[in-house]
Amino acid sequence: MDRKRIMVVGGGAGGLGLVTRLGRRLGRRGKAEITLIDRNTTHIWKPLLHEVATGALDSSIDEISYQSHAQLNGYRFQRGTLEGLDRDTRQLRLAPVLDDHGQEVLPARTLDYDLLVLALGSVSNDFGTPGVSEHCHFLDSPAQAEAFRHDMLNTFLRYSDPERRQHPRLTVGIVGAGATGVELSAELYDASRMLHSYGFTEMDSRHLEVHLIEAAPDVLPALPERIRGAVRTELERLGVQVHTGTRVVCLEQNAIVTADEARIETDLNVWAAGIKAPDMLRELGLTLERNQRIKVEPTLQSVDDPNIFVFGDCASCPQPDGSVVPPRAQAAHQQAQRLYKNLLARLDNGTLKPFRYRDRGSLISLAHFEAIGSLMRGASARSLFIEGRLAKLFYVSLYRMHQRAIHGTAKTALILFSDGLNRFIRPRMKLH
């Protein structure tokens, strides 16, 4: 039987959700061969990486093995990093997989496809700022989040000895006041309190100083003014020093230098200012737009090749009003749903429909303290402002919806029950 080969590159929330649905609908029934390709072996929901970075979320518990998930849901998994593409022969090239010592684990491979889906997400954009790559942590992957967590724990331990302190208070500089920077700022204060309560360090939140630096006039520049104001008020109440309208010109080992020649002395630095699609997309021979995003038709097909579909942060998808779909998690989720239907239509020689983005609102988590945001109310596009426990409940429900999409209702209910038990039998944060 001549089965179509559908390859999905990128196992983020959108990519994993897509192959799960395709695997259950087509793979299990032998109607198509579905393959997921990712350089990592496990998946974790990217909006929660700031919690991994502070230990509030234990990645070893919440991560999902691609290999086992593939076996359960009717698709195949190939570990590897996309290195090149031959559109004429419909082949993609994967770079060799190396271990921590640089030894080859898997050789370079060439895979054939009939339909290709690129869901490679985004990475931090340092805008060429000197010193960023050398002196900043990034939160683009679980590995980077874990690297920051280890550095954070070691810094807290070092500051337990007054003679080893570089500054009066442990100081963290976060460049970029988007969702990642804002949420990490709040999580750090929660982490310091938890570390003190467990006896990990004698320091508590009074000995922590967080500087949140943003070039735009306000935090969360893409969100409505009411949300921005409420979030800023809560951050300042926690103790975060917010610097808006402040452009960073370079990073040093223990300092952030701004355009007005001010120096902010720091112990740890995090760069969360802007995103771009991965650099390797420039090697694929596809038309790119701003921030290296691949230009696509409204049907999510590349403008260069109807057999290549692109969605999520790495896609530049036009809308009827002339705008482009924003690189947001909810946009990737909506695109995955439309792309699933379009792929089915393509296999049946049907008509593909254009993607229309619907803004469902925004929610910002401020650790366990609070959440703030808005929900869009139907076609009228009126927003409902929410905060406190209700907003936190909606924020948590987004992750549960993601789990339900990739695990199903029954297994998600068991996970929810297990998470409840873990609150009693495990520490509230990862301490090792």
pLDDT over threshold 50, residue 224: yes
**Contact yes or no for 342/26 (Cβ under 8 A):** no
pLDDT at 205 (0 to 100): 75
SS3 labels along 349-362: CCCCCCCCCCCCEE
pLDDT at 74 (0 to 100): 96
Residues 144-173 have a mean pLDDT of: 88
Angstrom distances, CA of residue 236 to CA of 205, 212, 269, 352: 13, 10, 19, 48
Render pLDDT for 295-352 as a digit per residue (tens, 0 to 9). 999 999 999 999 999 999 999 999 999 999 999 989 999 999 999 999 999 999 999 9
**Contact yes or no for 105/98 (Cβ under 8 A):** yes
3-state helix, strand, coil in the chain (%, to 5): 40, 25, 35
Residues 157-163 have a mean pLDDT of: 82
pLDDT at 369 (0 to 100): 58
**Contact yes or no for 137/331 (Cβ under 8 A):** no
Residues 125-140 have a mean pLDDT of: 94
Taking all residues of the chain, what is their mean pLDDT, rounded to a whole number?
A: 91
pLDDT over threshold 70, residue 377: no
pLDDT at 382 (0 to 100): 66
| Of residues 429 and 270, more confidently modeled | 270
> Tokens 């496809």 map to which residue?
113
Query: Alpha-carbon distance 65 to 45, whole Å?
Result: 13
Residues 33-44 have a mean pLDDT of: 95
Query: Alpha-carbon distance 17 to 22, whole Å?
Result: 9
Domains by residue range for the chain, with CATH: 4-122+277-348 (3.50.50.60), 142-273 (3.50.50.60), 361-425 (no CATH)
DSSP letter string, 357-421: ----EEEEEETTTEEEEEEEEGGGTEEEEEEHHHHHHHHHHHHHHHHHHHH-HHHHHHHHHHHHH
